[in-house]
Structure 1
């Protein structure tokens, strides 16, 4: 009887050689069509097989993988795996001492490449892998691609596990539509679960899903964020990948607990009125020996042509988007997280890398499509199918594309020729804005176009403004450390940046730590520096972000027309000398209009006159220079009445005091 074979986690940047061991003798293992348990019991109908092979199946997680069932009065587990290039497949695990010959699977008669078996007396928690012999005799041991539970790394096996959970978030699920809608406020808090917070008594210990819920739910409520976006929670063995090298696409990471523990975390956020968005990574997967790479000895999931199947940047493997069975795998996976885990949205990683055949490739390293272009037609059609399925089956959810190019129609409906995403990250805004704010204030007057340029293309897509994890690693510095000047100016600049972000059109995303001015770069392997909140600048920063979230959620002008040109109007962009910008945000009714004034220098501007959209009395409803925010307290405490002094194309104007490195938001008294 064979001993259990434990495979250490392969470096995510290097394919393991363990997937191609010495060939076995041709007669070592044999498999024949089953009758009693293998051939007689199956979860696949003819329609399932047809949809799977057409790339149209959206619920393969009900079919493949391991499922505890009762068959002919016997309780056990049904296993199904796709391995068309295998000549022998067996289930190995603790239950049979990892014996490769005692639990062979049976290949279906219909040439689908699906292997099945039923093994009595196996239930939830049983550890297993698939032992696969390729047609040429090569042997490999693989985790189940559809498993819901993987062992904690460095162990690499999968477990029989179901996703049954008694959900108690019915009120949220029934009423989430308006909260996830495009005309609703969406302020997203991006969280890396491993490093958001750790055990104070043991900084090396990651919190469990339950412990994260205990701390995160009240914090997000207190800070006023509407949604949490988790960086990939799908099972990943290599911590430095931050979760972007996924091995178990259908399994929440076991390093924090069981699948039901993750569901409880989602449920508690929902009960608190907070939406949950999950990072999803269909762009690539690692070459780990136990994972998808060369799964049955062939290029099963990855494209066989390295020009399309290998990613030079991440040294990982690219799905074969043109293979129907792989399309079904990815379609089902997207729907799985919305269905079984009640996610409210998917933020799709690295979309640009999928759209272009020449992404990160030099001339001669890629092959044009059938029309001679560089677009990946298979990936484009897959995005359209997945987005259509998401909005058909989960109309209250959102898909958000991380896409950094000018590819047209990313967030436009498929029926108009778009890719069908609900939103797209506004990477141009992020790059221009950070570049501008990193400049010394004395030089900003020469670069004002970096801020005004966003409106040139800003309504071509439904944009989300991201200040994400990518901007605070690899020597880029934390957000507050990017800012010029002394300590007071750095924090004032960051409050100004956040004020600009929250009053700009588009939804908002802020990576954890930015909300209180984390001073060091993000380290995936340690907790945020929560002790900084004991100090006035950081405490003030957190208070400012809390106030901005409240302003954003309560002022309809800041969200009702987030993606419409009618919701934004420049009032004045000409005062380059003083680096002052003025604009209006409009809601569905004129009385909701707010006026925003940005002072990009540390010089206060008393008696500064601006044109306003309507006559009346204006009140200051937000000022980033408030003393509770660690500001200098240059405010407009008294109401300001308009005067019949035309300015900036308006018949009425007001004279106000603009704080140093500050943002002022004014609203007309009803």
Structure 2
């Protein structure tokens, strides 16, 4: 016996209003008890279907005896005696009498590829142990705190001897401790929603509510997040609301019509990626997407989302050829519905999770990405500074002779560092598809210069206003491009120069976390002061970073040339002692060993428009940082 049961009218009303933010609680498959019988209730939104049936492992994949009933566009059916672990799909009969087998858009678990069936799964019953982590979050914690992110692709961080994946449970033991020991504050995981193709890295999704089965079960993933939190590590997940893949079992033409995507193929398809674009003007799609964002926070305790490909959501003509351009109702290029979606997304997320991290991966110049929605912005609290990434890496590729004419490329990001709340990312896109690893991008006559260049680049990043992100492998000097089909080049750590570089990055990360001047006023111009900026050809980039306590500041000197500066006179604002507290040129890091005495007293000798100065040694291709201590009395 099967029973149909219409969903709650209030729930469906909110779905159609675009304000149903927990739609996963009644759509999808849920274990229930009806009239004393245990079973599974199935519910799916497919308003334009002629008929929808449930087919699965329990009926030989023939849904003719398990027909669903429709009310207000939502099809439902309760099937008694079915249990957790049941495999199923929806059999969609279209108005043209075509039959599609579709995975459940709200499934909590999905078969391991190449299988595509949804799996009935309960997310109840896990006992979280992260109360202390959740209690320590405050609404402004992250803007005024260190944020140092380790970006990870779980499928290629490490592999087993047979080439198999590490599981969520194994990674909870190994990866979490690795990140903790190296000083990172957060792990960012490349998309974890179920996807059919490993090579997409998770960016072309079929099941938005299913954590990928490649590494284990949903509750295994809960263990991973829980372990991160118990060790004081936050978890950020890449999230992909910009597009989805066209695989037949996914969302594309779900009920025989363009249901989740725009009906106009010019708006509904991304020609570059070969994917479908969500219809941001459809309330039910907004309910789906915003519910999904909250789902990862509600159910898996995710601390934030890095929203992928924001530029493609903001514009109607992303990667579109000139002759095929389309405009909005005002004749402009902006996707007004996409903009409204992002604003609504952030407003809702922050209303429920005021301390969430909402990060925009946005390569456009759209203004106000991190301005609040109330003030007309998109409402994110962070934006990736991709201009910083591209320009600094282009500079580091240049020879010593070329750098003299290109220093603006390195320092222009300091002029607009406060336009948004920026994150400075050296992420996966910079080290893949024959683009070379970060170490491989560094210019130099030999390995010594390449490693020294990478040390001074990282030091500059640590000193530069903005939060920080490094992709896995960059912490020990990966030599080759990142290959998602195999593990990182861990064997490199058998060589001294990679061991030294890893030691440098570890020291740098812990130094960053310990010094308030490097993060407390990241988004306040009063926390930064340039030194000697008028000379744009000497390879020296010098500035001061300040903490909220005005006497607590660091003087940062970065030398991007191979020349050593002996007895260089550096202008400072205050009398007192300046102590070298950071030097990327130390011998234990593979450097040449040029350094400074432990305490340097400021002299009353004007220099660089400052009333006092100190005399320092600046090592080649290196950064030195001095900490100020006021004079007693």
* Structure 2 Cα separation of the partners of residues 487 and 573 of structure 1: 30
CA deviations on 1:25-81 (whole Å, 9 max, x unpaired) are xxxxxxxxxx97213xx4x32221111001111101101000001111110010000
* Structure 2 Cα separation of the partners of residues 612 and 537 of structure 1: 35
* Structure 1 Cα separation of the partners of residues 19 and 54 of structure 2: 28
Is residue 2:469 matched to residue 1:503?
A: no
Counterpart of 2:567 in structure 1 is 607
CA deviations on 1:636-663 (whole Å, 9 max, x unpaired) are 1331111111112211110100111000
Is residue 2:47 matched to residue 1:84?
A: yes
Counterpart of 1:23 in structure 2 is none
TM-score normalised by length of structure 2: 0.98
Counterpart of 1:154 in structure 2 is 114
Is residue 2:329 matched to residue 1:367?
A: no
Instruction: State the shift of 1:435 in Å.
Output: 0.7
Counterpart of 2:290 in structure 1 is 331
More deviation in 275-284 or 627-636?
627-636
* Structure 2 Cα separation of the partners of residues 609 and 569 of structure 1: 17
Matches within 5 A, 1:469-508: 469-485=428-444, 486-508=446-468
Counterpart of 2:154 in structure 1 is 193
Is residue 2:595 matched to residue 1:635?
A: yes
Structure 1 gaps, min length 5: 1-34
Contact 1:568 1:586 in 2 (8 A): yes
* Structure 1 Cα separation of the partners of residues 138 and 240 of structure 2: 25
Instruction: State the shift of 1:508 in Å.
Output: 0.3
Local SS of the residue matching 2:157: coil
Instruction: State the shift of 1:442 in Å.
Output: 2.6
Matches within 5 A, 1:63-142: 63-108=26-71, 112-142=72-102
Counterpart of 1:38 in structure 2 is 4
CA deviations on 1:407-437 (whole Å, 9 max, x unpaired) are 0100110000000001000011111100111
Local SS of the residue matching 1:442: helix
CA deviations on 1:529-561 (whole Å, 9 max, x unpaired) are 111112111111111111111111111110011
Counterpart of 2:576 in structure 1 is 616
Match of 2:477 among 514, 517, 522: 517
Instruction: State the shift of 1:443 in Å.
Output: 2.1
Counterpart of 1:181 in structure 2 is 142
Matches within 5 A, 1:86-485: 86-108=49-71, 112-164=72-124, 165-177=126-138, 180-199=141-160, 201-202=161-162, 204-485=163-444
* Aligned pairs, number: 628
Local SS of the residue matching 1:518: coil
Contact 2:38 2:80 in 1 (8 A): yes
Local SS of the residue matching 2:409: helix
CA deviations on 1:558-588 (whole Å, 9 max, x unpaired) are 0011111111111112334431111000110
Instruction: State the shift of 1:362 in Å.
Output: 1.9
Local SS of the residue matching 1:432: helix
CA deviations on 1:583-635 (whole Å, 9 max, x unpaired) are 00011011211000011111211101111131111111100011121111111
Match of 2:618 among 652, 658, 665: 658
Is residue 2:511 matched to residue 1:551?
A: yes
More deviation in 564-573 or 383-392?
564-573
Contact 2:2 2:77 in 1 (8 A): no
More deviation in 477-486 or 209-218?
209-218
* Structure 2 Cα separation of the partners of residues 661 and 363 of structure 1: 44
Counterpart of 1:17 in structure 2 is none
CA deviations on 1:271-315 (whole Å, 9 max, x unpaired) are 110000000000110111111011111111111111100001100
Contact 2:139 2:354 in 1 (8 A): no
* Structure 2 Cα separation of the partners of residues 134 and 127 of structure 1: 23
Instruction: State the shift of 1:163 in Å.
Output: 1.4
Q: 1:352–1:524: structure 2 CA closer, same or farther, 3 Å change rule?
A: same
* Structure 2 Cα separation of the partners of residues 615 and 178 of structure 1: 37
* Structure 2 Cα separation of the partners of residues 190 and 98 of structure 1: 40
Contact 1:180 1:344 in 2 (8 A): no
CA deviations on 1:375-394 (whole Å, 9 max, x unpaired) are 00001001011101111101
Counterpart of 1:9 in structure 2 is none
Structure 2 gaps, min length 5: none
Contact 1:228 1:274 in 2 (8 A): yes
* Structure 2 Cα separation of the partners of residues 206 and 317 of structure 1: 29
Local SS of the residue matching 2:43: strand
Is residue 2:22 matched to residue 1:59?
A: yes
* Structure 2 Cα separation of the partners of residues 416 and 70 of structure 1: 48
Counterpart of 1:598 in structure 2 is 558
* Structure 1 Cα separation of the partners of residues 598 and 185 of structure 2: 32
* Structure 1 Cα separation of the partners of residues 331 and 579 of structure 2: 59
Contact 2:56 2:63 in 1 (8 A): no
Is residue 2:485 matched to residue 1:529?
A: no
Q: 1:344–1:180: structure 2 CA closer, same or farther, 3 Å change rule?
A: farther
Local SS of the residue matching 2:84: coil
Contact 1:442 1:601 in 2 (8 A): no
